[in-house]
């Protein structure tokens, strides 16, 4: 069980949240993107072994979205930061693979 | 043709007998009478809107997470950084709408959306601990604390009232019978034989 610090409500168990997939994926302009580029936007994810930036929403609490840096190796939550904020630097933040 | 106002009917009416039998022992469970409930949203950085809402409600909107404010018959629960649940006597929606005219806001009447259960007594915290993962010890959950979390897997608004003796559990109507039944079962060991 993960415990995630909601930026508003504080530490809550994982079951109160909804997972929102990888963060910081910019939507390209559909008119200026070919099929390969659109497929890349829709389907391709980094899938790192290591630190992963992802979106979470506190479904059973304040219902706000935010970003989390989580290690996919040991599930450690390394940082919690607001939507729209740049990905923070954390020690050991360079992911392998990708 | 004017229609007669609908009489609120409790979703827990079918459990009235069971609740009447839960009034003794270390913990008691009661349904709160129907109240007017408003979901209020406005910009927390709009000082004038906050002041206008506070003037109508008689209490400042709580801005700190997991808190509540009370004024007389009215309670304002923090739901989010720009969202509150106002519980109180009816007919404040029009007053709030008037006071917030021209301000970016939303007022939604959710009176018929929830039921509120009151859990009291020396063993009330032990009963909640059976189905809630949060730390409910008074050092972490002081009187006046209001959280949204899961109780027995149902989403609830859990408010420890001002005097600290009662936990008010606000739950969606559709979950209320399930949750009340769960609570009655969890309370069984504290009831007189």
**In this structure, what CATH number is given to the domain that contains residue B97?**
3.30.70.1520
Q: Which residues contact B167 (CB under 8 A, 6 or more apart)?
A: B118, B119, B120, B124, B125, B128, B158, B159, B160, B161
Give the pLDDT confidence score for residue A98 in this predicted structure. 47
pLDDT digits (tens, 9 = 90+) for A20-66: 999 999 999 999 999 999 999 999 999 999 999 999 999 999 999 99
Residues B84 and B141 both lie in one domain: no
Give the pLDDT confidence score for residue A96 in this predicted structure. 55
Q: Report yes or no: B82 at the A interface, CB cutoff 8 Å.
A: no
ipTM of the complex: 0.87
pLDDT digits (tens, 9 = 90+) for B8-37: 789 999 999 999 999 989 999 999 998 899
Interface mutation target, options A3, A8, A58, A64, chain B, most CBs of B under 10 Å: A8
* A56 three-state secondary structure: strand
Higher pLDDT, B57 or B4: B57
Shortest CB distance from A64 goes to which of B80, B134, B147?
B80
Last residue in a domain, options B109, B140, B172: B109
Contact B150 A15 (CB under 8 A): yes
Please report which helix (H) or strand (E) contains residue B85, including its range. strand B83-88
Contact B148 A62 (CB under 8 A): yes
Q: Is the pLDDT of residue A91 over 80?
A: no
Is B80 inside a domain boundary? yes
- Residue B88 sits in which domain range? 36-109
Last residue in a domain, options B69, B87, B109: B109
Query: Could you give the number of structural domains in chain B?
Result: 2
In Å, how far is A61's CA from the nearest CA of chain B?
Answer: 5
Residues B98 and B42 both lie in one domain: yes
Q: Report yes or no: B65 at the A interface, CB cutoff 8 Å.
A: yes
The order of strands in the sheet holding B105-109 is B68-71, B74-80, B83-88, B36-42, B105-109
User: Which is the CATH superfamily of the domain at A3-82?
Assistant: Folate-binding superfamily (3.30.2270.10)
Residues B123 and B85 both lie in one domain: no
Residues B140 and B164 both lie in one domain: yes
pLDDT digits (tens, 9 = 90+) for B139-190: 999 999 999 999 999 999 999 987 888 999 999 999 999 999 999 999 999 9
CB contact at 8 A, B107 and B33: no
Chain B residue with the nearest C-alpha to that of A9: B65
Residues B132 and B186 both lie in one domain: yes
Residues B135 and B180 both lie in one domain: yes
Q: What percent of chain B has pLDDT over 70?
A: 97
Is B182 inside a domain boundary? yes
Q: Report yes or no: A63 at the B interface, CB cutoff 8 Å.
A: yes
Residues B67 and B132 both lie in one domain: no
Q: Is the pLDDT of residue A67 over 50?
A: yes
Question: Which residues of chain A lie closer than 8 angstroms to B65, CB-CB?
Answer: 8-10, 62
């Amino acid at each position: 069980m993960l415990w995630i610090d909601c930026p508003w409500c504080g530490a809550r168990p994982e079951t109160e949240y909804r997972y929102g997939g990888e963060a910081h994926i910019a939507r390209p302009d559909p008119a200026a993107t070919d099929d390969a580029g659109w497929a890349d936007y829709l389907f391709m994810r980094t899938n790192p072994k290591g630190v992963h930036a992802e979106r979470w929403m506190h479904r059973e609490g304040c219902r706000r979205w935010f970003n989390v840096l989580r290690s996919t190796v040991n599930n450690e939550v390394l940082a919690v930061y607001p939507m729209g904020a740049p990905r923070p630097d954390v020690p050991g933040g360079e992911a392998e693979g990708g | 043709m004017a229609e007669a106002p609908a009489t609120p009917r409790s979703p827990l009416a079918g459990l009235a007998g069971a609740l009447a039998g839960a009034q003794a022992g270390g913990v008691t469970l009661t349904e709160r009478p129907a109240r007017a409930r408003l979901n209020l949203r406005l910009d927390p950085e709009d000082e004038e809107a906050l002041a206008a809402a506070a003037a109508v409600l008689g209490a400042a909107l709580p801005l700190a997470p997991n808190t509540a404010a009370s004024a007389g018959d009215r309670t304002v629960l923090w739901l989010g950084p720009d969202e509150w649940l106002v519980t109180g006597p009816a007919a404040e929606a029009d007053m709030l709408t008037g006071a917030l005219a021209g301000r970016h806001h939303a007022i939604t009447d959710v009176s018929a959306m929830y039921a509120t259960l009151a859990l009291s007594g020396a063993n009330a915290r032990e009963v909640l601990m059976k189905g809630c993962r949060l730390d409910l010890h008074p050092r972490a959950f002081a009187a006046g604390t209001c959280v949204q979390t899961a109780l027995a897997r149902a989403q609830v608004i859990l408010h420890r009232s001002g005097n600290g003796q009662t936990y008010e559990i606000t739950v969606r109507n559709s979950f209320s019978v399930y949750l009340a039944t769960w609570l009655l079962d969890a309370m069984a060991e504290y009831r007189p034989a």
